[in-house]
Structure formats: C-alpha cells, structure tokens
Structure 1
C-alpha cells in the first residue's frame, strides 16, 4: 500500500500534527487478551493498514470489545491509534487510507489526543463537525469534559452512578456510627460516672486516631488499590464497633475501642472522594459529590434516631452500637465485588501522570493557597459542627430538666436527628445548585458559598443557644436554619480540592486536609467545650447551673465560625488561579504523560525508548518512530 503525506488536523485554527505510536490499545483489558499492533502474534484477525506517515490503523474482530459496541465475526470495530489515544470507527467502515477521510463522518462524540509541536501542549479534541479528503475540522474540548474511562472504553454512566450509590451507603453508616454515642451520651455518662470533660474526650479519642491515620491512608491511596484499603478499613471499624458494644467495666478500655474505630473510618473517608473525582468529570462531579455528602446529615440524623430508639427498646445503651457493624459487613462485600476502581486521573485525562514523592506532593500543596484557605475555613466549620453534633442533644436535655423531670430522650434525639437530616440535605442541595448554576457566570462562586454559609450561620446558631431555655420552639427552628447554612460547605470544599489538586496528589491532599481540620476542629472542640462547661459548673444536681455552664461554653463555636467565614473570603481571590494552574499541569503532563499504556508484546529485550512516546520536554522523534512502524509493517503479512 502506498504511503501518502499525513493530513493536517485543524483545531481552532492551530495546525496539529499527530505523532505516531506503535502500540495498539488492548480492547479487552483485564480479560486476558493483550494483542497489540506491534505484536507478531495474531489470533484475533487484527489488520494493520499503512495509511499516512503519522498513523497506524487497527481493526479487531471481537464478540464484545471495550468500546461498548457488540458485534460478530463480520462486525468489526476499527481504531485509529494516535499517541496512545485513538478514534473508534463504526463497524464495517474501516478506511484503508487515513487520507481518504470521507468515512470519518461517523466519528461524532469520539475522542482523540493530539500532540501540538508549536507549543508543546496536549490538546484533546472532540465533536467532529466536518470531514473531507484532506482535513478534519474539530472543536477543542476541555480536558475535564467527558474523556474515556480507559483507552478503548466509553463511559458507562449507569455503572458510575451505581458505584456512587455504594460509596454513599458506606458513608451513611460511617456517620451513623460517629454520632450513635452522642445519641445516648447521658446513659454512657451515668454508667461510667463521667463529667463533661471526660465524656467529650470520647469523641476526641475517636477523632485523634482518625486524623493520625488519615495521612497514612492518603499516601497509600495514591499508590495502591483503593478498593482493598477501603474494604479493609470498613471491616476493621465494624469489628471494633461491635467489640465496643460489649461494654467493659473499664472506661479506658471502651475509650481505646472508640479510638480504634477512628482508624478504620480514616481509610474510607480519605479515599472515597478521590474515587469520585476519578469517576466523574467536572461538569458531573459537583452533583456526584453532593449526593455522596448527603450521607453526612442523613447518616448523622439516623444515628441520633436509631441509636436512641434502639437504646430505649433494648433498655441497654450499648445495643445502639450493634447496628452499623452488620451494615458494615454488607458494605465491605459491595466494595470488593461490585465497586469499580477507576484509574487515577481518569476523568481529567491524567491517567498517564506518574505519582511523585510525598515530599514533592507536600511542597506542591504548600504552594496551593486555595487548598490552604479552604482547609483552614473547613477546620473552623468542623470545630463548630463537631461541638454542636456532640453536645446539642445533651444541651437540650439539660434545658428540658429545668422545666420538667419527665424528659423524653428519644423525642429529643428524634427531633434533632430530623433537623440534622433535613437541614443538612437542604444545605448540600442548595450548595450544589448554586455552584452549578452560577459557576459559568461567576467562576469564584464556590468559596463565596462557603463564606456566606458560615458568616450567616453565626447569629442563627448563637440565638438558638441563647434562647433554648426561654423559647424552645424558636431554638429548634434556628438550629434548622443554622445547620442548613453550615452544610453548604460539605460538598463544595471537596469539589474545590478536586479541581485545584492533581489526581495523583488528591489522596494526600485529602488526608492532610482531614488531619488539620480534625486536629484543630472536631478532635478538640467536644473536649474544649466540655472542659469550659466543667469549669463553670460546680454542682451537677443544680439543673439550671448545669445548663448555663454548657450554654456559655457552646458560644465558643460561634466565634470560630465567624473566623472561618473570613478565611473563605481570602479563598475567593486565589481559587481561579489555582484551578488554572492544575489544568495546565494536567495538560502539560508534568511527569511524562505520553508513556505508552501498553508495552511491546514482542521481545522482552526491546529498546524501552521505542515503546513509548518521548516526554514533551523535547521534540518527539517522529522519524525514528515511523522507522519502527515501517519495519513492523514490512514484517507483517497483511501490510
């Protein structure tokens, strides 16, 4: 077959010349088939077409391939392999020369990656609008928009949303477990004879172990199987929670078991958001994160309600800890056998970005001011929410005891749980809607949402605390509105992390954010509020003094909320710069993004430089690559 000059591909006026690669994508990755165009073994009727100087064609017959089309022995899918990326052609339509491009009109919505010699940048182009015999006019597509899952695989959104439901379920029981003790705190205090400071330390011990191990799992999650790490963590905290439901007489043993629960939960909370970031491109990621973080208010609310009613039904508070271990076992099986683990950076076109050292990761994050500001602001929100979620039911119970001796703990936990569920879900929904609706017109909207939520929530939460003894109905309403506003940041802060941090650093970034936000947030706040309350109360039998001491202590989180709102204001001025910086790093592929994803299937002693396209730091040796291809074509009987 005659060789002809490669056509120019015009993208927005730029002349784009595609460098070649001698590697045809493995269409059945994971199913044992590894057939490459540079392999001399042919058991799948692969045909190589020698079209233009810069292209190899592959046609593979499959009963079922990874493109998402079905076929039979006469129904083939055809690939144009370019620089590790490719275009999928319709069955039975394979052109024998790339320069005869009239048949490429079926390429709508397929994707190709091209190398641009002019500016050493990667361009992902899509949506073929015109094809003729010499050129293809395309429109450039943002790298984050609808890229393929793997080379050769189109996105199955049903599978992605099913995976999201699994992650939501695990996060739900995660937060159910966290607040179950708070729902029965007065009974735990009675059994062990605890004051406010020691009972607050129950939550602090959990969060301390949680935040210490979060960076460990973040580091591992950027380098090893995330499914295995999550499944191991979930089954670990399920076992330790179950052991904690066999109440030891020694308080410190119970405290140690609650600390071990934090280790298991750290694995999931650190890794799960990075999987969502790799599954969903930016235009879908905000909604996906919103759904995932619905589990925080809903799980917390269910923890209050289920925990208190199980304790009342059984007459034993520790029975409340036996529900989540059963659900955790189910979650482990779903993670191991149903959940798909995407390649790191899949949704951002960064699947070929290599991991870097932990020192380099931390240095890069230290220069990301948006990450720093959002972490500090989130820490302030976590401080306030941690204190309120732990102490609010007990605070309201103390106010009730001033008015009556007949206090219904189940009713208090049910109402507060309902407020947490509905208010939290409303806040997350509102945040997702505002972020999606306004981001195109005002691309700094995310930190604005977070700042507004914290600042506006301060007077409402403060009023709820001060009015509890005199206007309990108003307190419930103010708590509802306040929690709604504070919940605006739950999905927005992780979203900001995902679009300002490289995919290979997200696990580490998430872990450090968890470490800082919990170390100075909800690890400290329950203990600090309890210690302040103890310092102001000398007689626990005096209901009014006991209530006022805790009321005054709960004003501290309101002050911290105001500080957090101011920090998010600083974030407004840095978010756009850091987002563009991350996009440039993805497009440039700092760590040799064009390393071939499918190595040579021929001899093991082949030159490694011939099995990959050189880094963009230098000009690709197109002539050398074509020499390899020419040799391949000459040696192949179908060429």
Structure 2
C-alpha cells in the first residue's frame, strides 16, 4: 500500500465519487445485516418462544456491546492495517455472522450470531468516515457524509423489504443466509475498487492514549455525541419495533408490514439525509451553528409527526395520510446524519478523525442502539398486562421524549461549536 505520508490526497473527480459509492454499498450491507432482525422478529419470536425483552436485547445490546467495545481499537488499527483492508475484513466477518444467524436453534445461538455481527461492524463505519473526510474538502463534507449516510435508510429499507419477502416465501432462516452470503461476495469487489484511495493527508505521531485524552477534553464532541445518543434511543427503537407495531396494533401481515415500512424508510430516509446535508452545507458556510441547529429543529418536529400516527384513533399507517406522515417523520428523524457527522470531523484535528468517529459511535451505539430496542421491549412486556396488543405501541410512543432530549443537547452544542471549530467550512 502506498505510504500515506508521500501521496497527495485524491480530490473530487469521478474516481473519488466512485469510491464514495462503494463505501455507501458497504454501509448498505452494514444496515441490512444490522436491521434485518426487526422484520423477522415476529416469526423468530413464534418459533423460538421469545419475549419482547429477549428480542429487544438481541436487536440492541447483543450487537451494540461488542460493536462499541471494539470500535475504538478498530479505529486505532485502521492507521496501521489500512482503512480499506480493515473495512473489507469487517464486511467479511459481519456477513458471515449474519448467515450464521440463519442456523440458530435457540436464543443463545442467535445471540452468538448477533455478537459476531457486532464484531465485524466495529471495523466498518469509523474508517469509512475518516476516508471520506480525506477525500472531500470541508465545503462538501456534509453532503458527502449525507450520501454515505444513505446506507442507513437504503440498508434498513432493503433489509426489511427483502427480509420480509424471503421470510414469507421461504422462512426467516433463508433471509439471514441469503443476505449474509451477498456481503461475502461483494467484499473482494469493494477491496479492489477502493484500495488506491486509502491515503491520508496528515499523520500524527502522538501516542494513542494522548490522542484519546485530547478528544476527551473536546466539549463539542461530547455534546454532539450525547445529543445523537439520546435521539438514537428512540431512532433505533422505532427502526426495530415499528414493523411489529404495524402487525400487532394495525393488524398488518408480514408482507404488508415489510413492504410499507421498507418504503417509508427508503423514501423518508433518503429525503431527510440528503436535504439535511445540503441545507447544513449552505447555512454552515455562514455559521457553524447551523450544523447542530438544523438537526435540533428536525428532532422537535419528529415528536408530533410520529405521535399523530401512533396515537390518533383510526389514523392507520396504511392510509394515504398515515403513509405520507410517516415518510415525513422518518425524514425528519434522519436529517441529523450529514450535518452532525460533518461537524464531528470539523471539531477535531485531521489525524484524529477515525478515532473521533469511533468515540462518537461508542457513545451513540452503546446508549442508543444498546438500550433503545431493549428498553422498549421491557416496557412493552410490563404494559402488556393492561394494554395487550397495544402495549408495544404505547412503549414506542412514550419513547418519543428522547427526541426532545437530543434536541436540547444540540442546542447546547451551538454555544460551544464555533470556538471548537478546527477548519473553515469553505477551506481545508
């Protein structure tokens, strides 16, 4: 591999954009494999006789624990091994683990498979974000991060749609195996298509512990991470449990729930992420505070958008108005990704970007992904004595308060962001 200290960074051109697309495809696989369990939750629950708390643990903490613990070591390893090599190896591991989930015969076996998915995905996102920051100048970084973040709705939506189709046509085991093997096949294509782009503009000989301590003193990094963490509690909770809410409270079939929710995630997520990146780049050129104020406003609008569909009698998700409102809510919930990820890379030095992403992912995934679906599953089990089939809907609706908490953290970040900004939004 070319010495990153001797090679100029690859700047925008078709090869740079092609590299971004390949990173996006890997991120799509990341979220397909991460979220497929949500649409398969009902048939898995029936066959393996699981509770909502057990399902929520599998969908959240079982994955998030190893994902967060290994994320920071993986980011440090990326500088020595090379980011593209690490991402390729990570894709192979988590795809194989996803396929292995299809062989599970008990809750314990399925938990081992989810641990494996978390081990692999720990090496995927932070190195990818670091590579994108090196490939794109600050003026275009929020949009580039937004394009990369399309992996969230694309992966989640496609995983839900194809997972539901495979489960309905065959069974839930075929869904895991088929989708897992697809990632294994793509891994070498990704490696040979991106390895020449793995360059870094700056190096840092500061010891890893000193660099980590440097990040720990960054006020904006902590506030950004806390805001994203709190909102991710409900964001991941909704992503995991809404298909089950559709089936339990709105009497949807597996196929209709997977198709409807898959479209909502795909359309709403793409609109929200792209618009958030575009608006933040435009407004951020005048004031860095726009990178957190835009997501804060979107979070506050999420609460009534989701609340109307979930709580108003007769306002079903599969009506025209309900479907459109859920697309709007999904869009608002994902506006944050481009602006927040870009601001994260603006408040740290260039050599610290992969490590900063890993710290950010450690905090957000441990809190949001680790506890979001699990807590709502526990609350659903508790409420089931009084609310029966609507217990899960009540648990999810109550969780909307976390959007307000996330918005509050981003509003506080607006007070510190300008002083912590390392680069001008219009120059590197």
TM-score, normalised by the number of residues in structure 1: 0.63
Q: Say if 1:222 and 1:505, in contact at 8 Å, map to a contact too.
A: no
Partner of 1:323: 178
Q: Structure 2 vs 1, CA of residues 183 and 565 (structure 1 numbering), >3 Å: closer, same or farther?
A: same
Q: Say if 1:398 and 1:546, in contact at 8 Å, map to a contact too.
A: no
Whether 2:222 is the aligned partner of 1:372: answer yes
Instruction: Determine the C-alpha separation between the residues in 1 that align with 2:403 and 2:36.
Output: 25
TM alignment of 1:559-578, pairs within 5 A: 559-578=401-420
The offset of 1:257, in angstroms, is: 1.0
Which residue, 387, 390, 396 being the options, matches 1:554?
396
Which residue, 296, 305, 311 being the options, matches 1:466?
311
Partner of 1:440: 285
Partner of 2:207: 357
Greater relative contact order structure (CA < 8 Å, 6+ sep):
2
Q: Structure 2 vs 1, CA of residues 243 and 30 (structure 1 numbering), >3 Å: closer, same or farther?
A: closer
Once the two structures are superposed, what CA deviation does each residue of 1:285-342 show, in whole Å capped at 9, x if it has no partner? 222111111111111111110000111111x111111233233123321232220343
Instruction: Determine the C-alpha separation between the residues in 1 that align with 2:70 and 2:329.
Output: 31
Instruction: Determine the C-alpha separation between the residues in 2 that align with 1:475 and 1:222.
Output: 47
Q: Say if 1:172 and 1:299, in contact at 8 Å, map to a contact too.
A: yes
Instruction: Determine the C-alpha separation between the residues in 1 that align with 2:258 and 2:313.
Output: 15
Instruction: Determine the C-alpha separation between the residues in 1 that align with 2:9 and 2:369.
Output: 42
Instruction: Determine the C-alpha separation between the residues in 1 that align with 2:140 and 2:302.
Output: 28
- Aligned residue for 2:205, secondary structure, equals coil
Q: Structure 2 vs 1, CA of residues 538 and 172 (structure 1 numbering), >3 Å: closer, same or farther?
A: same
Whether 2:74 is the aligned partner of 1:224: answer no
Instruction: Determine the C-alpha separation between the residues in 2 that align with 1:519 and 1:429.
Output: 26
Instruction: Determine the C-alpha separation between the residues in 2 that align with 1:447 and 1:276.
Output: 20
Q: Say if 1:230 and 1:335, in contact at 8 Å, map to a contact too.
A: no
Q: Structure 2 vs 1, CA of residues 449 and 190 (structure 1 numbering), >3 Å: closer, same or farther?
A: same
Once the two structures are superposed, what CA deviation does each residue of 1:353-382 show, in whole Å capped at 9, x if it has no partner? 423223222222122211111101110121
Q: Say if 2:241 and 2:373, in contact at 8 Å, map to a contact too.
A: yes
Once the two structures are superposed, what CA deviation does each residue of 1:570-622 show, in whole Å capped at 9, x if it has no partner? 11121121114x67xx99xxxxxxxxxxxxxxxxxxxxxxxxxxxxxxxxxxx
Instruction: Determine the C-alpha separation between the residues in 1 that align with 2:391 and 2:12.
Output: 56
Instruction: Determine the C-alpha separation between the residues in 2 that align with 1:153 and 1:376.
Output: 32
TM alignment of 1:70-109, pairs within 5 A: none
Instruction: Determine the C-alpha separation between the residues in 2 that align with 1:556 and 1:329.
Output: 39
Instruction: Determine the C-alpha separation between the residues in 1 that align with 2:66 and 2:9.
Output: 40
Q: Say if 2:384 and 2:391, in contact at 8 Å, map to a contact too.
A: yes
TM alignment of 1:505-544, pairs within 5 A: 505-538=352-385
TM alignment of 1:146-161, pairs within 5 A: 155=11, 157-161=13-17
Instruction: Determine the C-alpha separation between the residues in 2 that align with 1:313 and 1:305.
Output: 12
Whether 2:121 is the aligned partner of 1:265: answer yes
Q: Structure 2 vs 1, CA of residues 334 and 312 (structure 1 numbering), >3 Å: closer, same or farther?
A: same
The offset of 1:456, in angstroms, is: 1.4
How many residue pairs match? The answer is 422
The offset of 1:384, in angstroms, is: 1.0
The offset of 1:149, in angstroms, is: 9.9
Whether 2:192 is the aligned partner of 1:337: answer yes
Q: Structure 2 vs 1, CA of residues 241 and 573 (structure 1 numbering), >3 Å: closer, same or farther?
A: same
Partner of 2:323: 476
More helix by share: 2
The offset of 1:478, in angstroms, is: 2.8
More strand by share: 1
Once the two structures are superposed, what CA deviation does each residue of 1:112-163 show, in whole Å capped at 9, x if it has no partner? xxxxxxxxxxxxxxxxxxxxxxxxxxxxxxxxxxxx9965787461211111
Instruction: Determine the C-alpha separation between the residues in 2 that align with 1:468 and 1:337.
Output: 54
Instruction: Determine the C-alpha separation between the residues in 1 that align with 2:114 and 2:138.
Output: 37
Instruction: Determine the C-alpha separation between the residues in 1 that align with 2:369 and 2:329.
Output: 18
Q: Structure 2 vs 1, CA of residues 223 and 409 (structure 1 numbering), >3 Å: closer, same or farther?
A: same
Whether 2:243 is the aligned partner of 1:385: answer no
The offset of 1:187, in angstroms, is: 0.1
Return 5+ residue gaps in structure 1 as ranges: 1-28, 32-147, 402-406, 540-544, 588-639
Instruction: Determine the C-alpha separation between the residues in 1 that align with 2:169 and 2:116.
Output: 27
Instruction: Name which of structure 1's ranges 477-486 and 421-430 shifts more when overlaid on structure 2.
Output: 477-486
TM alignment of 1:614-629, pairs within 5 A: none
Partner of 2:248: 398
Q: Structure 2 vs 1, CA of residues 156 and 380 (structure 1 numbering), >3 Å: closer, same or farther?
A: closer
Q: Structure 2 vs 1, CA of residues 326 and 577 (structure 1 numbering), >3 Å: closer, same or farther?
A: same
Partner of 1:304: 160
TM alignment of 1:187-198, pairs within 5 A: 187-198=43-54
- Aligned residue for 1:477, secondary structure, equals helix
The offset of 1:233, in angstroms, is: 0.9
Q: CA RMSD in A?
A: 2.3
Partner of 1:276: 132
The offset of 1:214, in angstroms, is: 1.0
Return 5+ residue gaps in structure 2 as ranges: none
Q: Structure 2 vs 1, CA of residues 569 and 154 (structure 1 numbering), >3 Å: closer, same or farther?
A: closer
The offset of 1:468, in angstroms, is: 6.3
- Aligned residue for 1:338, secondary structure, equals helix
